[in-house]
């Protein structure tokens, strides 16, 4: 099997591998078909050389994950990420794949800088799951009990002068990351996180600013937490706040969980974490065969679902779209259609739809 790849050897030791990026024919096929949003994440313990494995993944029309490319680098510094991002761009150009509209990563400054160097016109987004988990953990660690706002020090070294408990997230805390925000906000580290989610998910910039002001006012006695949020996340809010990222074609993708799931999946094809590189590639080939089969099966099932849900006269406004796009896409169009019907005078929408289709 022909495996497109880019390799780098050490300058002072030509036989020592420092970087390898590769893909497969099925990956290229899916990457070319769905290039709009690409996520990057890494995992460990996949090979005897202890090289971290990076995966670039995308999302199909059915919402499932596909692998675009894989990479191994010998360090997680700027030079390693630079090779990784350069190689991804090179493979895309060699196979006439469009640049993504959005790249989703975790909060690694070195990786983000390397990706920005190679994809300067692509909007970067930060995984909101990573952000929320970190905000909750830091709020728990930095929370100071029994301190009023009038006694809160403003010096930048408050974190050093105030003993911090080495807190960890409990199972109840982790559930809070995914739970809807309650109207009853406790004055605790959990309350900080609940109000933070209002900042993150605000629909408009005005609502975003208002939510941030409310958080700062409510927890004015927790200056260490506020400084952490203001200094770490607010400068890059255009990469995570809903009111900003909704302007880009990300199809609602705001996390790297698909890539993380693929990281876990590849390990299920390996007997242990001490495989040589040839065995690692073999395992990925097996994974790609299963991924292709699963996608084909899902497409067949989706055709049946589409035919059943959109074959009636009430869906005639969709025209040939009923046989051209997935049920997920049709569902999104139908949702907007229903909203439009409610907002327009009776009969006017039908006239406009007929005019558009004919």
Q: Among 105-114, 120-129, 253-262, where is mean pLDDT lowest?
A: 253-262
Question: Residue 147, CB half-sphere, CA atoms under 13 Å: how many?
Answer: 18
Q: Which domains does the chain have, with CATH numbers?
A: 5-127+255-296 (3.30.420.10), 129-236 (no CATH), 314-357 (no CATH)
Measured CA to CA, the distance from residue 263 to residue 212 in angstroms comes to: 35
Share of the chain above pLDDT 90, in %: 61
Residue 342 has pLDDT above 80, yes or no: yes
- Average predicted confidence (pLDDT) for the chain: 88
Residue 56 CA, chain-centre distance (Å), reads 11
Measured CA to CA, the distance from residue 14 to residue 211 in angstroms comes to: 55
Q: Output the pLDDT for position 76.
A: 92
Measured CA to CA, the distance from residue 237 to residue 126 in angstroms comes to: 9
> How do beta strands 102-105 and 37-43 pair?
parallel
**Radius of gyration for the chain, computed over Cα atoms and rounded to the nearest angstrom:** 24
Residue 181 has pLDDT above 90, yes or no: no
Average pLDDT over residues 161-190: 76
Residue 354 has pLDDT above 90, yes or no: no
Q: Output the pLDDT for position 205.
A: 98
Average pLDDT over residues 38-67: 92
Q: Which helix (H) or strand (E) holds 42?
A: strand 37-43
Average pLDDT over residues 33-51: 92
Q: Output the pLDDT for position 82.
A: 97
The CB density around residue 127, as the number of other CB atoms within 10 Å, is 24
Measured CA to CA, the distance from residue 278 to residue 289 in angstroms comes to: 17
pLDDT tens figures, 268-297: 898 788 888 889 999 999 999 999 999 999
Residue 197 has pLDDT above 60, yes or no: yes
State the residue for tokens 């020592």: 16
Question: Residue 259, CB half-sphere, CA atoms under 13 Å: how many?
Answer: 27
- Do the Cβ atoms of 82 and 58 come closer than 8 Å? no
List the structure tokens of 118.
Answer: 């190679």
Q: Among 95-109, 156-170, 194-208, 297-311, where is mean pLDDT lowest?
A: 156-170
Residue 349 has pLDDT above 70, yes or no: no
- Who contacts 28 (Cβ-Cβ below 8 Å, separation ≥6)? 4, 95, 97
The CB density around residue 194, as the number of other CB atoms within 10 Å, is 21
State the residue for tokens 């990573």: 130
Q: Output the pLDDT for position 237.
A: 98
- Do the Cβ atoms of 123 and 91 come closer than 8 Å? no
pLDDT tens figures, 218-250: 999 999 999 999 999 999 999 999 999 999 999
pTM of the model: 0.84
List the structure tokens of 244.
Answer: 């900003």
């Amino acid at each position: 099997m022909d495996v497109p790849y880019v390799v780098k050897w050490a300058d002072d030791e030509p036989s020592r591998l420092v970087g390898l990026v590769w893909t497969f024919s099925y990956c290229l096929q899916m990457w070319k078909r769905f290039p709009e949003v690409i996520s990057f994440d890494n995992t460990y313990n996949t090979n005897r050389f202890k090289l971290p494995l990076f995966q670039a993944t995308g999302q199909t029309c059915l919402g499932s994950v596909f692998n675009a490319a894989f990479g191994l680098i010998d360090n997680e510094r700027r030079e390693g990420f630079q090779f990784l991002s350069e190689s991804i761009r090179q493979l895309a150009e060699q196979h006439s794949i469009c640049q993504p509209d959005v790249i989703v990563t975790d909060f690694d400054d070195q990786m983000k800088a390397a990706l920005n160097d190679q994809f300067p016109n692509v909007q970067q987004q930060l995984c909101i799951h990573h952000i929320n988990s970190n905000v909750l953990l830091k709020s728990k660690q930095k929370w100071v009990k029994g301190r009023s706002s009038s006694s809160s020090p403003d010096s930048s070294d408050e974190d050093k002068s105030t003993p911090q408990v080495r807190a960890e997230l409990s199972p109840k805390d982790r559930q809070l990351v995914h739970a809807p925000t309650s109207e009853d906000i406790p004055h605790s580290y959990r309350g900080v996180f609940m109000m933070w989610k209002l900042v993150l998910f605000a629909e408009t910039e005005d609502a975003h600013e208002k939510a941030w002001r409310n958080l700062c006012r409510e927890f004015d006695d927790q200056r260490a937490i506020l400084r952490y949020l203001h200094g770490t996340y607010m400068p890059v809010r255009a990469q995570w706040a809903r009111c900003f990222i909704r302007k880009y074609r990300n199809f609602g993708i705001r996390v790297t969980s698909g890539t993380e799931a693929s990281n876990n999946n590849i390990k299920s094809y390996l007997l242990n974490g001490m495989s040589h590189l040839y065995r690692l590639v073999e395992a990925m080939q097996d994974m790609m065969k299963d991924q292709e089969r699963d996608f084909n099966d899902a497409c067949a099932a989706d055709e049946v679902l589409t035919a059943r849900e959109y074959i009636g006269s009430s869906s005639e406004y969709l025209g040939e779209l009923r046989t051209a796009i997935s049920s997920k896409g049709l569902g999104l169009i139908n949702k907007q259609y229903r909203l439009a019907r409610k907002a327009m005078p009776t009969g006017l929408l039908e006239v406009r739809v007929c005019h558009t289709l004919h």
